[in-house]
Amino acid sequence: MNNHLHHEERGLAADVKQTTSVAAEKCYQCGKCSAGCPVASEMDLPPSLVMRMLQTNRPENDEKLLRSKTIWLCLSCEMCISRCPMSIDIPKVMDFLRRRSRDEGKVTDRAKDIVAFHDSFLLSVEKTGKLYELGLIAAYKMKTLHLMQDVTVAPEMIQKGKLHFIPEMVKNRKNIAQIFKKTIKAKN
């Protein structure tokens, strides 16, 4: 196993490096990222193990990473990089792995609610240019069928004047549509 540590990089680690300039091989497994990560205890693979698995260059580990729940549980809170003695940009690696996981259709079912939320959020932005919170909740419920969630919170939000019934819109929605067309929609 150790023989793989300093081998020429192939596979996922090489792609990570090429796209993000982050060198996984710099990690010496001190574990500060996993100790500081607020969601490490919920993850299937703590962040330090993600780095170690990248170092092994084994296709079966690459596959596990792309199908992990970890990459979707990462909150991008940046605690790991703040405490990393080698300043390894782990959040950037997570960004890359999420993108790759989605492109290759490997998003785990265990992350479907999280991804449904992101998709619902972006749908609102694509259509209105802004986040329409009521629309986001409706779209999320339709995608996940969590119909009963927050049924008590929403009326209280309305009563406190925190939810709009009519979305605020960007005037130049053509411009917003173009931005989506040239980025996320161009690749999907």
Partner 1 sequence: MIKIGFYPGCSLTGSSREYAESVIALCEAFNIELKQIPDWNCCGATAAHNLDKELSLALPARILALAEQNGMTEIVVPCAACYNRLSVTEHTLNADEQLRARISEIIEMPYEGTVKILNVIQMLQKYVVNELANKIVAPFDHKVACYYGCLLVRPHEILQFDRVEDPQTIDEMLKLVGAQPVDWAFKTECCGAGFSVSQPDIVGKLSGKIVKDAVDRGAEAMVVACPMCHANLDMRRPAINSYLKTTIDIPVLYVTQVLGLALGISREKLGLQRHFVPVKF
Smallest separation, CB 172 to partner 1 (Å): 6
The C-alpha angle 52, 53, 54, rounded to 5 degrees, equals 90
Which single residue is written with the structure tokens 């959020």? Answer: 121
- Which are the contacts of 114, defined by CB distance < 8 A and separation ≥ 6? 72, 73
For the chain, give the number of residues. Answer: 188
Residue closer to partner 1 (CB basis): 57 or 115: 115
Judged by CB under 8 A, which of 17, 99, 106, 177 binds partner 1? 99
Cβ 129 to partner 1, closest distance in Å? 4
Cα-Cα end-to-end distance for the chain: 37
- Piece of 6-14, 48-56, 57-65, 160-168 that binds partner 1 (CB under 8 A): 160-168
127 is an interface residue for partner 1 by CB under 8 A = no
Residue closer to partner 1 by CB (options 48, 140) is: 140
Residues in contact with partner 1, counted by CB under 8 A, come to a total of 56
Minimum distance from residue 117 beta carbon to partner 1 (Å): 4
Position 17 contacts partner 1 (CB under 8 A)? no
Q: Please pick, from the candidates 32, 52, 121, 177, the single residue that binds partner 1 as defined by CB under 8 A.
A: 121
Residue pair 87/30 in contact by the 8 Å Cβ criterion: no
Q: What is the 3-state secondary structure (H, E, C) of 136-151?
A: HHHHHHHHHCCCCCCC
